Amino acid sequence: MEYLEKLNPQQREAVEHTEGPLLILAGAGSGKTRVLTCRIAYLIEHCGVRPWNIMAITFTNKAAGEMRERVDGLVGMGSEAIWVSTFHSSCCRILRRYIDRIGYDNSFTIYDTDDSRQVMKAVIKELELNPKIYKEKALLGKISAAKNNLVSPDEMEADASRWEEKQTARAYRAYQKRLKKNNALDFDDLLVLAVELFEKAPDVLENYQERFRYILIDEYQDTNTVQFRFVKLLAEKYRNICVVGDDDQSIYKFRGANIMNILNFEKSFPGAKVIKLEQNYRSTQSILDAANEVISNNSGRKEKKLWTDNGRGTRVRFREFQTGYDEAEFVAGEIARKVREENRSYRDYAVLYRTNAQSRLFEEKMIAADIPYKLVGGVNFYARREIKDMLAYLKTVDNALDDLAVQRIVNVPKRGVGATSLARVQNYALENGISFYEALQEAEKIPGLGRSLGGIRKFTALIGRLRAAGREYLNVREILEMIIRETGYVEELEAEGTDEDKARIENINELVSKTADYMEQAENPSLSEFLQQVSLVADIDSVDPDGDYVLLMTLHSAKGLEFDYVYMTGMEENTFPSYMAVSGEDSEELEEERRLCYVGITRARKELTMTAAQMRMVRGEPQFLRASRFVREIPRELIELEGETTDTRNFMKPPEVSMDRIMKFGTGGAERGYGSFGSSRARSAHGPSGNHYSLNQFRVQKADHLDYKEGDRVRHVKFGDGTVQDIKDGGKDYEVTVDFDTCGVKRMFASFAKLKKI
């Protein structure tokens, strides 16, 4: 057990404390994965625990893969019996075996985000909801939040007090009904139904309790209510549960993460031992001091302080620019220069920002500077049209009850099956209580199909051949190749011959490569398992650690990664922390933003540069900002000020941006393509306590009254038609909030908006 000698005292204590509940508070870069893997090896080698009695769960496929690799290296023979997986994959694996106990077929389909939106679109139509008010994404978000908190459609309806809430509950019920009919689950259902299975089938629960006598959970601060319930049920019998996490890195509240799971661990598991890992192996002390100072401003946390033997290093740099354009130009230029002059690699750099919308300028400047980069969070490989088409064929072969998959491909490539004919098939299916595919098989009984009947027959015959071949002799790769060959999909793309079509062919070829890799790595390969694996792929799993490019990503995406040189951009009030966190009364939201800042700071190994813009374009309009409070929470002696800001006192002044600069970047038809200069945000700058500093070039003339009221339809010269959501009398002018049909919600002063009632 030589690995024990490489651990620090706190890490070793965490490894050797094997019985009963254990909370390991692992600060950023403190070697938590080493502790987890060494603990697994110790349980097997020293305590005689059988490998199949150990379960290790984390959140991403990437993290699970890294843990699996390390465990295999330490344990050697027999390590394959250890269950190392994500929450979703673990639940899916359990449900594949036992979901029939709660009324589903074991060959269920997993719906991704696009699939779920298609189902919700149909639900909105079915319930005759106004799609301008009840939007697919918003409804799915509320349903997901309900599932994360184990709230059923009936419970949601019982708790609903407003009309909109009752309609959401109706949509939730109809959505679940459609999923059940299609024998399909969305991502949240994997967890919810696993808990339901355990609660309704005690023998199944006992079976897994006996199997998993030692449970290890990574990133415990990111667990939600349903994940907590899943773990609690599994650990009830033997109580040998070890969770590793850092409450200071709990940043996924918007996904349902409940920080109280880690803060209340000792209450949930009485008698739990707590061990803190505070030695950091990643960053310099200067970076850690800045992180410690920022996060110490949060009240809802367990006290810890990171330290390192890595040396002090350079101070954190802060540089402020007049515009976001200047900021992006500086970052790209400095990276290019340092790679060229200091023999660095592009892969050493990451540019982090609060929201995806901030990436555009950095992309433009990276391209202009000929810097290779990768945008994390862009279009996922598996979300591309041609890949979704191929996967829909595979899903149909695996589970013909999946209406969504069948409807996607029945006329792809074109078989002469029109929309009217498909609607008739759908109506027939609904009237007879059968699946869409079953209705296609009975197409001769459906009147009015005309020429579409021939295409439908070809489709069902093809699926029949594919299913028969899959059952009898073809593996996953061979089924995919048969689909490509017999559908003529690639031949059609080749006939078109455009660059886009060539790229689609390359993507399909890459999918074939994926199936080949899967066949080599899987113990018991099956089409169902392959589709499950594909469905659970996350954006960050596609990052190639050997690729030499700069990574552009949100702060949320950066969690779990580390880089020698990090640029934290957009460090302004209302950008980071966000406007919602600053303006709201929810202190928890601001504390989560601060935890996000802590995560960003601790991604840096050698150097951290923070940047801000005094004026930033938001929705095509200039917004004037001051430096983020998170920058100002770093003591002066820890931060090096560069460029236009030379003194911390400037953080407390209204931004000084020249009017020439404003008009150059803020007027309609400006040389770099920004939008018009004309809203309340364009005419004011926020002071240290939210005060507004007026620009003398503008005068507000408040109207005696408005010709419209809340709920009225109005027209704006630029944004088009919309519905008035809110009107507030701001003293000097009315502040009007309008939900525009084509460009979303906008807030503006009435005297400048010049809205016309329609």
Tell me: pLDDT of 620 over 50. no
CB 38 within 8 A of CB 15: yes
| Cα torsion angle, 431, 165, 725, 742, sign | negative
Q: What is the pLDDT of residue 474?
A: 85
Confidence of residue 690 (pLDDT cuts 50, 70, 90): very low
Q: Tell the CATH topology of 1-99+191-279.
A: Rossmann fold (3.40.50)
pLDDT > 70 in the chain, percent: 88
Q: Tell me the mean pLDDT in the region 183-200.
A: 96
Q: What is the pLDDT of residue 673?
A: 28
Q: Which of 474-483, 500-509, 622-631 has the lowest average pLDDT? A: 500-509
Tell me: pLDDT of 256 over 70. yes
CB 230 within 8 A of CB 69: no
CA 39/CA 49 separation, integer angstroms: 11
Q: Tell me the mean pLDDT in the region 704-717.
A: 87
Tell me: pLDDT of 660 over 50. no
CB 547 within 8 A of CB 345: no
Annotated binding-site positions:
26-33
Annotated binding-site positions for ATP:
26-33
- List the one residue out of 356, 295, 260, 309 whose CA is nearest residue 553: 356
Helix (H/G/I), strand (E/B), else coil: 326: helix
Taking CB atoms within 8 Å and a gap of at least 24, the contacts of 173-180 are: 174/123, 174/126, 174/127, 175/119, 175/120, 175/123, 175/139, 175/140, 175/143, 178/119, 178/122, 178/123, 178/403, 179/111, 179/119, 180/103, 180/104
CA 446/CA 221 separation, integer angstroms: 54
pLDDT digit string (tens) for 283-305? 999 999 999 999 999 988 999 99
Q: Which positions ≥6 away from 92 have C-beta within 8 Å?
A: 110, 190, 532, 536
The CATH class, in words, for 316-372+548-641 is alpha beta
| Cα torsion angle, 537, 540, 543, 545, sign | negative
Same fold, 1-99+191-279 and 316-372+548-641: yes
Buried b (16+ CB within 10 A) or exposed e, 623-657: bbbbbbbbbbebeeeebebeeebeebebbeebbeb
Q: What is the dihedral of CA 133, 136, 139, 140, to 10 degrees?
A: -170
Q: What is the pLDDT of residue 203?
A: 96
Q: Which positions ≥6 away from 634 have C-beta within 8 Å?
A: 290, 293, 294, 316
Tell me: pLDDT of 602 over 90. yes
User: Is beta strand 684-686 parallel, antiparallel or unpaired with respect to 713-716?
Assistant: unpaired
3-state secondary structure 570-611: CCECECCCEHHHHHCCCHHHHHHHHHHHHHHHCCEEEEEEEE
Residue ranges of the domains in the chain? Answer: 1-99+191-279, 109-182, 316-372+548-641, 381-538, 712-757
Distances (CA, A) of 742 to 75, 125, 132, 510, 708: 58, 20, 10, 36, 20
Which residue type does 286 have?
S
Distances (CA, A) of 197 to 102, 106, 172, 233, 295: 6, 13, 20, 11, 40
Taking CB atoms within 8 Å and a gap of at least 24, the contacts of 706-709 are: 706/734, 706/736, 706/750, 707/756, 707/757, 708/755, 708/757
Q: What is the pLDDT of residue 682?
A: 30
- Catalytic residue positions? 32-33, 218-219, 249, 603
Q: Tell me the mean pLDDT in the region 75-81.
A: 79
Q: Tell me the mean pLDDT in the region 607-633.
A: 85
The CATH class, in words, for 109-182 is mainly alpha
The token pair at 323 is 């515009």
pLDDT digit string (tens) for 192-246? 999 999 999 999 999 999 999 999 999 999 999 999 999 999 999 999 999 999 9
Written as one string, the DSSP assignment of 720-731 is: EEEEEEEEEE-S
Q: Is 617 left (phi over 0), alpha (psi -120 to 50) or beta?
A: beta
Confidence of residue 379 (pLDDT cuts 50, 70, 90): low
pLDDT digit string (tens) for 89-147? 999 999 999 999 999 999 999 998 889 999 999 999 999 999 888 888 889 989 999 99
Which residue type does 592 have?
E
* Neighbour tally for 46: CB within 10 Å: 13
Of 634 and 730, the one with more pLDDT: 634
pLDDT digit string (tens) for 28-66? 999 988 999 899 989 998 899 999 999 999 888 878 888
pLDDT digit string (tens) for 563-598? 999 999 999 998 999 887 887 666 788 999 999 999
Tell me: pLDDT of 484 over 80. yes
CB 446 within 8 A of CB 427: no
Q: What dotted CATH number matches 381-538?
A: 1.10.486.10
Q: What is the pLDDT of residue 494?
A: 82
Confidence of residue 701 (pLDDT cuts 50, 70, 90): low
User: Is beta strand 563-568 parallel, antiparallel or unpaired with respect to 604-618?
Assistant: parallel
CA 356/CA 381 separation, integer angstroms: 18
Confidence of residue 741 (pLDDT cuts 50, 70, 90): confident
